[in-house]
Amino acid sequence: MPRVSFERIHKAFGAVTVLRDLDLSIEHGEFLVLLGPSGCGKTTLLNMLAGLTDVTGGRILIGDRDVTDLDPKDRGLAMVFQSYALYPTKTVRGNLRFGLASARLPREEVERRVAWAARLLQIEPLLDRKPAQLSGGQRQRVAIGRALVKHAEVLLFDEPLSNLDAKLRTEMRLEIKRLHDELSPTVVYVTHDQIEAMTMATKIAVMNNGVIQQFGTPDEIYERPANLFVAGFIGAPAMNLKRARILRRGGLVAGVFGNGQQIDLGDYAFAKAPQEGSEIVVGMRPEYFGPPDAPAREAAAVFDLPVAHTERTGSDATGYLRFDEGLLSLRVEPGQAARLAGGQKVRVAFPKGKASLFDAATGGRL
Ligand SMILES: Nc1ncnc2c1ncn2[C@@H]1O[C@H](COP(=O)(O)OP(=O)(O)O)[C@@H](O)[C@H]1O
Ligand SMILES: [Mg+2]
């Protein structure tokens, strides 16, 4: 299974530039997720790899082959679309066979692969049905099967789960992950859903406005977002992002928020020593706060704040505290959330080593 590289990719539709100077490379067997809001250029990038859209500038390589100008069928890849694109008049078996129509394989080999994919995707009992007789999840399996029978070296997915309800999406996520673990193809998978990205990817490229904002493992992107866009996009409830000013006194480095509260930044690995008075944004993930009113040990910050409201979703709960002009969210135990009354003051602590800091002017990570 080969590596996939985009080199200095540029794409314009007429006068509108959609992708600019994009470099991206993954190793063989990786599961790359292109993640970003609608309209950021994910499908355009995927379609250029598939050969369905022309490249305005730059090169695309699969393994050592420059495929930039190759026909889609000569690129050694298979694609699964959001819309499934199954043939309504063909049975499931017919749709799976059709994935191999252009391959001119011996009949036994076609049947062997169809049987293999049907077993892998657990759709053997459905082989004689037409797409109209299938549920959404079953159709999606057939669409994936049609890509698998090609034994393609690279599998492409464009938002394959967005038409499914939440429960099925969770199941199919596990299914696709299992297929990747078993078959190890190189995968490029487009989604706007951060949960899909975090659960399936070995590498995520976070995109916005046609530019890759960060490329890294799910952990790197979650723990060390490269800028304010990534910090705000990844995580639910979202990372708290609060403006502060740098305070330096002797050996002390702290952030002072608008409400006068402080956070100790003495252990932060600044790329470059921060200037006294410089404007920053402090990022604090909701789940890293200690439980309300627990004794704080080794904390970077301790805040006394009134409760605004709480939100419970069964297994999980979020408390919202009034902080400065806005709210500070933190994850709490559902049982404790039930006991937090609006207006009640609580003490919460944020641990050392968990904050992310950004330059307030550029949005870049400090
Ligand atoms: N064929 C096209 N002609 C003109 N503009 C297009 C075309 N296809 C996509 N675009 C524009 O390119 C941008 C990126 O689109 P797309 O790659 O589909 O985004 P995403 O998949 O991330 O939602 C959007 O602004 C979209 O309107
Ligand atoms: Mg798209």
Structural domains in the chain, sorted by start:
4-233 (3.40.50.300), 240-359 (2.40.50.100)
Closest by alpha carbon to 154, among 69, 58, 245, 51?
51
Higher pLDDT, residue 251 or 90: 90
Percent of the chain residues topping a pLDDT of 70: 99
Q: How far is the CA of 39 from the centre of ligand 1 (A)?
A: 6
**Closest-approaching ligand to the CA atom of 38:** 1
pLDDT, position 2: 66
Pocket mutation for ligand 1, best pick of 10, 19, 43, 193 (most atoms within 8 Å of C-beta): 43
Positive or negative, the Cα torsion across 147, 153, 156, 157? positive
Count of C-beta atoms within a 10 Å radius of residue 120: 19
Q: Could you tell me if residue 250 is left (phi over 0), alpha (psi between -120 and 50 degrees) or otherwise beta?
A: left
At a CB cut-off of 8 Å and minimum separation 6, what does 174 contact?
none
Residue 193 amino acid letter: D
Query: Region 186-196: what's the mean pLDDT?
Result: 95
Count of C-beta atoms within a 10 Å radius of residue 153: 17
Nearest protein CA to atom 27 of ligand 1, as residue: 39
Categorize the per-residue pLDDT at 343 as very low, low, confident or very high, splitting at 50, 70 and 90. Answer: confident
Nearest protein CA to atom 18 of ligand 1, as residue: 43
pLDDT, position 340: 86
Closest by alpha carbon to 240, among 253, 252, 225?
225
Residue 174 in this model has a pLDDT that exceeds 70: yes
Angle at 147 between CA 180 and CA 99, to 5 degrees: 155
Pocket mutation for ligand 1, best pick of 6, 10, 11, 13 (most atoms within 8 Å of C-beta): 13
The DSSP string of 146-195 is HHHTTT-SEEEEESTTTTS-HHHHHHHHHHHHHHHHHH--EEEEEES-HH
Whole-number average pLDDT of the chain: 92
**Closest-approaching ligand to the CA atom of 16:** 1
Categorize the per-residue pLDDT at 50 as very low, low, confident or very high, splitting at 50, 70 and 90. Answer: very high
CA dihedral 68, 69, 73, 75 (to 10 degrees): -30
Q: How far is the CA of 173 from the centre of ligand 1 (A)?
A: 25
Nearest protein CA to atom 12 of ligand 1, as residue: 18
Whether the CB-CB separation of 284 and 352 falls below 8 Å is answered with no
Pocket mutation for ligand 1, best pick of 22, 40, 44, 47 (most atoms within 8 Å of C-beta): 44
Nearest protein CA to atom 7 of ligand 1, as residue: 13
3-state secondary structure at position 82? coil
Which ligand 1 atom is nearest residue 40's CA? Answer: 22
Nearest protein CA to atom 9 of ligand 1, as residue: 44
Residue 315 in this model has a pLDDT that exceeds 80: yes
Nearest protein CA to atom 26 of ligand 1, as residue: 39
pLDDT, position 232: 96
pLDDT, position 180: 92
Q: How far is the CA of 40 from the centre of ligand 1 (A)?
A: 7
Categorize the per-residue pLDDT at 309 as very low, low, confident or very high, splitting at 50, 70 and 90. Answer: very high
- The interaxial angle of helices 136-148 and 166-183, nearest 10 deg, is 20
| pLDDT tens, position by position, 323-333 | 988 999 999 99
pLDDT, position 261: 93
Nearest protein CA to atom 16 of ligand 1, as residue: 41
Residue 28 in this model has a pLDDT that exceeds 80: yes
Query: Region 193-208: what's the mean pLDDT?
Result: 96
Task: List pocket residues of ligand 1, CB cut-off 6 Å.
Answer: 13, 18, 36, 38-44
